[in-house]
């Protein structure tokens, strides 16, 4: 669409220049090439891009390493965009005018084929009895000899021979094709008319110069009437512009000094190029003395795929090689995210090292890439003070890229496990100790893989070790900031919908179902399903009496969401408590870590309590716990499941080991239906395993 608009603008530029400055001049042949050049320039100039080089200082960014088992939700856009509608209308117009062009060409060739032309000096003369205006098409001249006197016929043939010898049919065909491509631009139709009119000026001027009596040729133009039919693809002797043609025959020859007018279009073209056909190319600022020995590349949001390929090609014959994968772009083709892989001597494949994401914008910040002085490492410069060095045996972040000797990092096969050991300020931590805690590192991070870590740290290092070198300071945690809503028996359906909408603003998805009410409209049963950024689960209450207040609590700082009954359980009541289907005491229940609870059900309905016998007559509490990373989703029976693109069952999915999953995409009802039709109306799950089979 952008190309069509630019080309149309150039055509308008040449048309306006011709009408204002050149139409009244008698430089007919020069005007012909000016108009023809306008079409050629309009066709190709929009494709020319002038690079504007801009030096940028590399800026800081936060490198994020993404594990293979990422869990993302895929959204599929719905509806037809305005761009698709416009392209459909444009395509229909092209087909219509191309069809009309084809029909006219077939009519022309049919007319010529029906006759036996006479050839003279390379020109085919075709006589016809049809009421057609005399015309020429390439080296054919078609005329009706019975419509003219001998002297008149010779003047007409002289005119048409000029069209043939100067190949005017090329101009006509070319302008007609442009009318097909740019049919939506009204100026192109006027442009075609002016181009054909100028061709008639050329033929009139040449034909009149060959006759002894110029008045005879002009009288022929006045005498002739427009025939009943003319072919669009040809140079017709008669047309509706005879008055202009006679005026131009009488006009004095233009002064050659007026040729300067052709140059007026040049500054307009230059302005067009600099305004619409430029692309900013970011280049790194001058590097230090030590860095001048190696070539440096800058990757910015506007770097194209071909430019990334050039960087890969440069490193392809080096000891350390690089590859850009998983390139995610915005709608304007700027880079939103890119993963960087490296390959060093002895490696069998490219290993993922880091993923570059934006901080607070929609695009990545510029950074430079170069080889180290010994050409064994690849250095990434993110700011003037921050360099990240990647070699076969280490990855170091910090102000200086220091060599860590035999330490290995981030291998996809022998990298870190699920629960590595963190050594910070000489103390040992685990991942759960660091969740939601922010810290500042003074020097660098050293990552040791499982194989090497277990040799040094024993069983504690079986999942690898991450060492924060230098002094690390932790930011003071802010006071807890909670958002709380209480579900009571008197809430209406509209109240529940308002609650869902309010929590959705906090990035928590709520769903209320299995709602039951008594004759007074009070809630006696409800199931609350929830999903936040860090937690997912359900809470059910079902009984014969009105529900007790239920508290929905969100910690907006760390997105932890919790559902609980506000009324404490009576210490005297003998309630059956089952933890993962195993009976436990109240004391054991109080000792459960809330963060490990996946689901809690409180049963009060007498009919449902019968299955638990006398132990459950006063009520039952069902508690399900587990590792938060291994929580099992509640999946309806009708949900579509695809493993490596193959339709599968819920049983097949549950049989997969968590560490065997590379990617999982959950499509909600609308998105699944848009992709898979009615079969997907209950949702869909798409799973890709690490070892596809």
Domain residue extents for the chain: 1-56+82-226+237-276, 294-407, 482-565, 576-625, 640-689
Q: What is the pLDDT of residues 397-432, one digit of tens each?
A: 443 333 333 333 333 434 567 778 888 888 888 776
What are 295-309's pLDDT values in tens digits? Answer: 788 888 888 888 899
Q: Which residues contact 94 (CB under 8 A, 6 or more apart)?
A: 180, 181, 183
Percent of the chain with pLDDT over 70: 73
CB atoms within 10 A of CB 340: 23
Q: Over 70: is that where the pLDDT of 601 sits?
A: no
pLDDT of residue 74: 45
Q: Does pLDDT of 73 surpass 60?
A: no
Is the pLDDT at 102 greater than 90, yes or no? yes
Q: Which of 2-11, 554-563, 636-645 has the lowest mean pLDDT?
A: 554-563
Q: Note whether 342 and 321 are within 8 A (CB).
A: yes
Q: What is the pLDDT of residue 605?
A: 60
Answer for the pair 36, 174: CB distance below 8 angstroms, yes or no. Answer: yes
Q: How far apart are CA 130 and CA 539, in angstroms?
A: 89
Q: Which pTM value belongs to this model?
A: 0.39
Count CA atoms closer than 13 A to 495's CA, side-chain side: 10
DSSP 8-state class, residue 247: H
Q: What is the mean pLDDT of residues 147-163?
A: 83
Specify whether the CB–CB gap between 335 and 363 falls below 8 A: yes
- Average pLDDT of the segment spanning 313-339: 86
- Between helices 214-223 and 242-250, what is the axis angle to 10°? 160
* Residue 266 DSSP symbol: H
- Residue 311's SS3 state is helix
The Cα–Cα gap between 644 and 650 comes to 14
pLDDT score of 48: 84
Of 55-59, 95-99, 298-302, 508-512, minimum mean pLDDT range: 55-59
Nearest C-alpha neighbor of 8 from the set 173, 180, 176, 184 = 184
Q: State the average pLDDT over residues 336-358.
A: 78
pLDDT in tens, 234-270: 555 545 466 677 777 767 778 778 788 888 888 888 7
The pLDDT value recorded for residue 234 is 56
Pairwise pLDDT comparison (183 vs 476), residue with the higher score: 183
Position 186 scores a pLDDT of 93
Look at residue 276 and tell me whether its pLDDT is greater than 60.
yes
Instruction: Give pLDDT, residue 421.
Output: 85
Name which of 81-85, 573-577, 596-600 the model is least confident about: 596-600
SS (H, E, C) 383-433: CCCCEEEECCCCEECCCCCCCCCCCCCCCCCCCCCCCCEEEECCEEECHHH
Q: What does the pLDDT read at residue 477?
A: 44
Task: Specify the range with the lowest mean pLDDT, choosing from 58-62, 252-256, 457-461.
Answer: 58-62
pLDDT confidence tier of residue 76, bands split at 50, 70 and 90: very low
What does the pLDDT read at residue 669?
A: 65
Which range is least confidently modeled, 158-162, 217-221, 310-314, 612-616? 217-221
CA distances to 175, 199, 612 from 163, in Å: 16, 8, 103
pLDDT at residue 183 is higher than 90: yes
Q: Does pLDDT of 628 surpass 50?
A: no
Length of the chain counted residue by residue? 693
Q: Which of 188-192, 322-326, 680-684 has the highest mean pLDDT?
A: 188-192
pLDDT range class, residue 600, cuts 50, 70, 90: low
**What was the pLDDT predicted at 60?**
44
Give the pLDDT of residue 62.
41
379 has a pLDDT exceeding 70: yes
When pLDDT is cut at 50, 70 and 90, the band that residue 195 belongs to is very high
Mean pLDDT of the chain: 75
List the single range of 138-147, 242-251, 516-525 with lowest mean pLDDT: 242-251
């Amino acid at each position: 669409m952008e190309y069509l608009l630019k080309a149309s603008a150039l055509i308008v530029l040449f048309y306006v220049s011709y009408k204002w400055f050149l139409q009244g001049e008698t430089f007919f042949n020069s005007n012909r090439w000016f108009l023809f050049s306008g079409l050629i320039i309009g066709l190709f100039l929009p494709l020319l891009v002038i690079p504007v080089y801009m030096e940028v200082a590399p800026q800081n960014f936060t490198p994020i390493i993404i594990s293979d088992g990422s869990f993302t939700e895929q959204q599929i856009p719905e509806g037809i965009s305005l761009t698709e509608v416009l392209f459909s209308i444009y395509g229909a117009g092209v087909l219509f005018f191309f069809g009309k062009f084809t029909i006219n060409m077939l009519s022309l060739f049919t007319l010529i084929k029906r006759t036996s032309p006479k050839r003279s000096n390379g020109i085919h003369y075709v006589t016809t009895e049809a009421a057609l205006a005399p015309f020429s098409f390439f080296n054919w001249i078609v005329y009706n000899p019975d419509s003219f006197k001998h002297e008149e016929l010779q003047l007409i043939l002289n005119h048409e021979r000029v069209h043939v010898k100067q190949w005017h049919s090329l101009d006509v065909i070319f302008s007609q094709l442009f009318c097909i491509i740019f049919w939506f631009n009204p100026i192109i139709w006027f442009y075609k008319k002016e181009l054909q009119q100028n061709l008639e000026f050329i033929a009139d001027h040449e034909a009149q110069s060959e006759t002894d009596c110029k008045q005879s040729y002009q009288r022929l133009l006045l005498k002739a009437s427009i025939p009943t039919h003319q072919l669009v693809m040809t140079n017709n002797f008669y047309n509706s512009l005879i008055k202009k043609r006679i005026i131009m025959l009488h006009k004095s020859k233009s002064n050659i000094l007026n040729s300067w007018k052709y140059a007026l279009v040049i500054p307009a073209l230059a302005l067009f190029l600099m305004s619409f056909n430029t692309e900013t190319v970011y280049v790194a600022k001058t590097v230090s003395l030590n860095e001048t020995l190696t070539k440096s590349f800058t990757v910015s949001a506007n770097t194209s795929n071909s430019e990334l390929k050039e960087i890969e090609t440069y490193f392809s014959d080096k000891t350390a090689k690089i590859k850009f994968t998983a390139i995610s772009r915005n709608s304007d083709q700027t880079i939103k995210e890119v993963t960087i892989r490296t390959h060093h001597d002895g490696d069998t494949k490219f290993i993922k090292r880091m993923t570059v994401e934006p901080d607070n914008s929609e695009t990545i910040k510029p950074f430079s890439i170069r080889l180290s002085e010994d050409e064994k490492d690849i250095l990434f410069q993110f700011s003037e003070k921050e360099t990240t060095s990647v070699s076969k045996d280490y990855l170091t972040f910090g102000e200086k890229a220091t060599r860590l000797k035999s330490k290995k990092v981030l291998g996809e096969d022998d990298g870190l496990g699920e629960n590595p050991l963190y050594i910070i300020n000489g103390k040992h931590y685990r991942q759960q100790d660091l969740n939601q805690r922010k810290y500042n590192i003074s020097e660098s991070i050293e990552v040791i893989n499982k194989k090497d870590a277990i040799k040094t740290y024993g069983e504690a290092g079986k999942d690898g070790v991450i060492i924060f070198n230098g002094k690390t300071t932790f930011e003071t945690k802010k006071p807890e900031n909670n958002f709380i809503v209480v579900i009571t028996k008197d809430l209406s359906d509209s109240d529940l919908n308002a609650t869902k909408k309010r929590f959705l603003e906090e990035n928590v998805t709520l769903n209320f179902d299995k709602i039951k009410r008594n004759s007074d409209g009070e809630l006696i049963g409800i199931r609350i399903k929830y999903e936040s950024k860090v937690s997912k689960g359900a809470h059910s209450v079902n009984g014969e009496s009105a529900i007790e207040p239920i508290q929905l609590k969100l910690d907006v700082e760390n997105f932890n969401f919790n559902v609980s009954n506000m009324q404490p359980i009576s210490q005297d009541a003998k309630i059956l408590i089952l933890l993962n289907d195993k009976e436990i005491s109240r004391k054991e229940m109080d000792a459960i870590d809330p963060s490990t609870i996946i689901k809690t059900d409180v049963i009060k309905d007498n009919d449902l309590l019968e299955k638990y016998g006398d132990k459950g007559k006063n009520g039952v509490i069902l508690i399900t716990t587990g590792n938060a990373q291994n929580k099992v989703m509640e999946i309806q029976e009708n949900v579509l499941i695809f493993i490596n693109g193959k339709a599968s069952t819920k049983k097949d999915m549950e049989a997969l080991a968590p560490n065997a999953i590379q990617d999982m995409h959950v499509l909600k009802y609308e998105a699944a239906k848009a992709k898979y039709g009615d079969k997907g109306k209950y949702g869909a799950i798409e799973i890709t395993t690490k070892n596809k089979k």
